[in-house]
Amino acid sequence: MNDAALEKKHFMNTGLPLFANLPHRIAELSPDMVRYGRKELDLALVEMPGMVSLREEYAGKKPLEGARIMGSLHMTIQTAVLMETLVQLGADVRWVSCNIFSTQDHAAAAVVAGPDGSADKPQGVPVYAWKGETLPEYWWCTLQALMWPEESGPTLILDDGGDATLVVHMGCEFEESGTIPAVDTAESEEFKSVLALLHAVRAAKGDRFWRDLASSIRGVSEETTTGVHRLYERVENGTLLFGAINVNDSVTKSKFDNVYGCRHSLVDAIMRATDVLIAGKKALVCGFGDVGKGSVQSLRGQSARIAITEVDPICALQACMLGLDVVRLDDVADQFDIFVTTTGNKSIIGVEHMKRMKHNAIVCNIGHFDNEIDMGDLEKLVAAGEVEKIEIKPQVHEFKFKNTTHGPGGGGHSILLLAEGRLVNLGCATGHPSFVMSASFTNQIMAQIELHENAEKFGKTVTVLSKVLDEKVARLHLAKFGAELTELTEEQAAYIGVTVEGPYKTDQYRY
């Protein structure tokens, strides 16, 4: 089969050529969808003072001119504001969502049309994302966003969870080794899609595609805990191909997104999905890091009765100081009405826990993207006929266990599983509010500018943005609240060992 024929061959079950060269691929590009998305973009911008301030600061300066930025981050209204800010600062941008359920289709339509375009004549950002992608479609989308029309690659990646960074590194590593593992050796359906993609690219393009693409990449800024963990692993192993900025651990990201964002969006998602009263219900939050802390605050706001699970004694002690019970899931799986995973780890809730849960217990995840809840083994029980999977509405499923005896009338019980174990706040609601994302995305833009201008100084390592920039992000958002900062005198600043202008805390300070 010649190269042209290979490139036209559909990738897995997508019905799409592997190298489609499409200007975009979204759910719907209609005048009504564009109008709806554009209006929400306008409303969101008012709530995103960091984006507004950066647009004003760099007006006419184009600090990202010449940058080709590939973004892999939830395609929401707030992300669309980020994308259009990057464009205003001079970047050439292409985008995918980092989650098969998180795309807001009207946001994708608006940003594809662009502020000066229309549904008929789109002039915006190429986007490859829609709500409800299959896993093969998701990885197909990632490949499309990594390739510019002339088949050059990005100079920068803006990643959330590390998937774009992962596929580039794996592609290079398998080219170096000369072999790609067989698809049927994959331990998960997701990894099967990744291997299938890599095999298909090799068949179509040979064994230099990924290394040639990676050669133009100067760096990556990473949004979240999981992706940062992957980056640090690569630093330790000596396999990181380019420098990285850890956006997740900026205080104005980790606290605002992970604590305050989850405080807003967790109960929003549960209530939209189920309409169940949360007050008085017993809720178990698995993990008490920043995401767990925000989730506990969210559930407390609705007067749930809450306990947590933890492996970290410091986090567990913090929970005790807030009057929370610290328990083991194995001991209490049959005692709670709502289960929320927040750990950033894998295999937190398994099918043996689900078999013991109360009838119609709600199970959801707001931590790691897709494997905190053991969906693989649950789907195996569905395939074996032991569990019935019933779609109540998109991203809300009842799983009815046929062989248990603590359901209605002594029969099988059910659990209500949200967003198929993926991020519930994005699968069943609209994610974090605009103001919170403004803080996160201001960090992202600063990181992208740093990498574009000074990538070489970062080497092949992972760096956190400076405290100066972290404080700048906070300053840009204070006016929205009418806050007025106190100013130190020279004597006061000298007494505590800082400058009048800041930064005011050491890097070791824990906020």
Active site residues: 74, 97, 102, 160, 223, 248, 253, 257-258, 262, 368, 432, 440, 444
Task: Say which residue the tokens 């990449």 belong to.
Answer: 217
Strand, helix or coil at 258?
helix
The CA R_g of the chain, rounded to the nearest whole Å, is 23
Task: Give the whole-angstrom CA distance, residue 169 versus residue 152.
Answer: 17
Strand, helix or coil at 296?
helix
Report helix angle 189-205 to 163-177, nearest 10: 50
CA atoms 220, 224, 230, 231: torsion sign: positive
First to last CA, the chain: 60
Q: What are phi and psi of 171, to 5 degrees?
A: -60, -45
Q: Which residues contact 499 (CB under 8 A, 6 or more apart)?
A: 493
Q: Which residues contact 44 (CB under 8 A, 6 or more apart)?
A: 77, 78, 80, 81, 434
Q: What are the structure tokens assigned to 323, written together?
A: 């009057």
Task: Give the whole-angstrom CA distance, residue 54 versus residue 62.
Answer: 11
Q: What are the structure tokens assigned to 410, written together?
A: 């002594």
| Whole-Å CA distances, 434 to 59, 255, 294 | 22, 15, 17
Task: Give the whole-angstrom CA distance, residue 262 versus residue 249.
Answer: 16
Strand, helix or coil at 238?
coil
Task: Give the whole-angstrom CA distance, residue 329 versus residue 310.
Answer: 10
Give the rounded distance of the alpha carbon of 451 from its chain centre: 21
Task: Give the whole-angstrom CA distance, residue 20 versus residue 260.
Answer: 40
Residue type for position 49: P
Give me the DSSP letters along 160-207.
Answer: SSSHHHHHHHHHHHHHHHS----GGG-SSHHHHHHHHHHHHHHHHH-S
Q: Residues 110, 38: contact at Cβ < 8 Å?
A: yes
